[in-house]
């Protein structure tokens, strides 16, 4: 089970990166180019949100049930805070990623309340940019963006 969840969590990040790039492209070009907010924009946002929720779910399963790293951190939390790798998985990674998923959700939710296409694109763009930056900042320093979490 651990390997299955880890595999989903590992490969889903690439789908999320692709969806982030696509949603950013659509929202920025729609916002700056004053384009219509169409079915493709809505579908892209829904796909990104679904992938983000899947990533969050698999991450939470790992965090609480299957990860040897978090089990080690929870066994000695004080000691884990002194180990940068254990602290990263026990606190930093989950904290930043939950915020990123919340931002993606908020961007989609708030954009639906907007009345003009430009406002919808702008809302999605701003929230997605912030979420993307958080994800990259969180993963890049540890070299995890293109590495396996095994």
Return the domain boundaries, the chain. 2-142
Rounded-to-integer distance, Cα 86 and Cα 121, Å: 38
**DSSP characters over 41-83:** HHHHHHHHHHHHHHHHHHHHHIIIII-HHHHHHHHTHHHHHHS
Q: Decide: helix, strand or coil at residue 31.
A: helix
The predicted model scores a pTM of 0.90
Closest CA to 69 of 52, 92, 102: 92
pLDDT (tens digit per residue) in 90-103? 999 999 999 999 99
Q: What is the pLDDT of residue 147?
A: 53
């Amino acid at each position: 089970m651990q390997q299955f969840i880890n595999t989903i969590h590992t490969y889903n990040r690439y789908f999320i990166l692709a969806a982030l790039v696509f949603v950013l492209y659509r929202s920025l070009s729609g916002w700056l180019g004053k384009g219509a907010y169409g079915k493709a924009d809505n579908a892209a946002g829904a796909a990104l949100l679904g992938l983000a929720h899947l990533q969050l779910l698999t991450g939470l399963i790992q965090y609480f049930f299957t990860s040897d790293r978090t089990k080690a951190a929870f066994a000695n939390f004080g000691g884990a805070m002194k180990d940068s790798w254990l602290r990263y998985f026990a606190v930093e990674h989950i904290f930043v990623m939950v915020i990123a998923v919340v931002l993606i959700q908020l961007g989609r939710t708030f954009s639906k309340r907007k009345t003009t296409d430009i406002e919808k694109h702008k809302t999605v763009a701003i929230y997605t940019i912030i979420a993307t930056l958080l994800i990259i900042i969180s993963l890049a320093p540890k070299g995890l963006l293109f590495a396996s979490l095994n």
